């Protein structure tokens, strides 16, 4: 209470009670000396979402490729809308409107390309997931009370089309249809379930023909406007040794003799000694996929085929996770469900065969009795 009978506050807070009491004593002395003047508190600077996002990103110990991806999503999709908004003022309605607008804009941009399987949904999901992660950190730091990221189903990519699953004879046909130096890649992806970045970074030393295995310890990532970056697999579970069927091992034996780059560290699949660019690889892949009647098939779809085939063998969830390098069972369960669906189809086909056999037996019995 000041000499004017009004309540006044300090211009700042204090680290300790002793500091606060010292300030009060100083104010009392000024009042007694007649030199006191009111000091209005200075409003604390408002923390914007853009400022917090930058701080959050700097504090994270990220792989270079992950840091670049986050930087891209921030600069391209999040900060243009939210950079100057106070962190604590962003509402669920704003986030929902932003997510819907981003989804619409990226879908419209994708529609102008020649890729019907591209809708921009993955970019939207990743951008939303990043914003949600940033706000979760802000909640933990008590900078906001609750997160405004509450869009149901956001953060998960929506498939434009279901992935194509190849049968074993179709994988063989695809391997025969593509150029010879990529034939083993098709078989390795379609039976071994490696990710594209893992395939493209395989070296001669990673192949053990005697054991019939490939060792996955690295991947290469290609980001727009950046040089390729080699790093560990996507997850810790991605470090694995994959056992292969004999026909794939034989294909690798031929490939090593004819196509792999020289030396233990020579790339298994290369273009003039360097990594295949994913876009160039896709250009070579599409005609082969069309040639076997599967124009919608994509390179990554071979991994889907491999895991579906593995699930049909009766592999457990843990076994599928280990083979695929997954860290959660959700993906493995999808392949097991697909395998169960296929098993039902097989049973239905067997029923047709059995019905025909039973009908034939019944006719034979009728004739014998007649």
Report the catalytic residues. 195, 300, 303, 326, 335
How is residue 48 written in tokens? 């914007």
Q: In this structure, are strands 207-208 and 213-216 parallel, antiparallel, or unpaired?
A: antiparallel
Cβ atoms < 10 Å from Cβ of 36: 17
Strand partners of residue 241: 215
Retrieve residue 84's tokens.
């100057």
Can you tell me which residue has the tokens 């025969």?
A: 176
Distance of alpha carbon 121 from alpha carbon 343, whole angstroms: 31
In this structure, what token pair is assigned to residue 251? 């294909």
Question: Are 276 and 200 a contacting pair, CB within 8 Å?
Answer: yes
Report helix, strand or coil for 173.
helix
CA torsion 229→231→237→241, rounded to 10°?
A: 100
CB atoms inside a 10 Å sphere around CB 300: 13
Return the biggest CA–CA distance within the chain: 132
Contact 251, 183 (CB under 8 A): yes
Give the single-character DSSP code of 229. Answer: E
Q: Are 130 and 73 in contact (CB under 8 A)?
A: yes
The C-alpha angle 193, 337, 214, rounded to 5 degrees, equals 15
């Amino acid at each position: 209470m000041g000499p004017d009978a009004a309540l006044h506050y300090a211009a700042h807070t204090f680290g300790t009670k002793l500091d606060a009491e010292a300030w009060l004593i100083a104010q009392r002395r000024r009042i007694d000396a007649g030199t006191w003047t009111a000091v209005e508190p200075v409003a604390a600077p408002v923390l914007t979402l853009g400022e917090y996002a930058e701080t959050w990103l700097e504090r994270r110990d990220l792989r270079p490729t992950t840091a670049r991806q986050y930087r891209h999503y921030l600069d391209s999709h999040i900060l243009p809308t939210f950079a100057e908004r106070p962190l604590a003022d962003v509402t669920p309605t704003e986030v929902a409107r932003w997510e819907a607008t981003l989804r619409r804009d990226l879908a419209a941009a994708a529609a102008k390309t020649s890729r019907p399987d591209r809708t921009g949904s993955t970019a939207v999901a990743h951008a939303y997931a990043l914003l949600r992660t940033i706000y979760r950190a802000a909640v933990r730091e008590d900078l906001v009370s609750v997160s405004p990221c509450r869009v149901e189903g956001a953060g998960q990519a929506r498939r434009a089309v279901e992935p194509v699953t190849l049968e074993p004879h179709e994988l063989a046909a695809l391997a025969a249809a593509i150029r010879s130096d990529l034939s083993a890649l098709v078989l390795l992806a379609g039976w071994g379930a490696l990710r594209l970045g893992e395939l493209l970074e395989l070296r001669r030393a990673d192949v053990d023909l005697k054991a019939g295995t490939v060792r996955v310890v690295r991947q290469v990532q290609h980001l727009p406007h950046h040089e390729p970056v080699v790093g560990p697999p996507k997850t810790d579970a991605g470090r694995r040794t994959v056992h292969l069927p004999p026909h794939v091992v034989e294909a690798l034996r031929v490939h090593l003799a004819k196509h792999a780059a020289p030396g233990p560290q020579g790339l298994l699949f290369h273009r003039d000694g360097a990594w295949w660019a994913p876009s160039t690889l896709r250009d070579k892949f599409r005609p082969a996929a069309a040639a076997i009647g599967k124009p919608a098939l994509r390179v990554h779809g071979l991994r889907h085929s491999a895991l579906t085939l593995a699930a049909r063998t009766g592999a457990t969830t843990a076994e599928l996770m280990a083979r695929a390098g997954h860290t959660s069972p959700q993906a493995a369960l999808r392949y097991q469900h697909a395998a169960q669906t296929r098993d039902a189809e097989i049973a239905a086909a067997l029923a047709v065969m059995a019905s025909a056999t039973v009908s034939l037996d019944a006719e034979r019995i009728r004739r014998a009795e007649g």
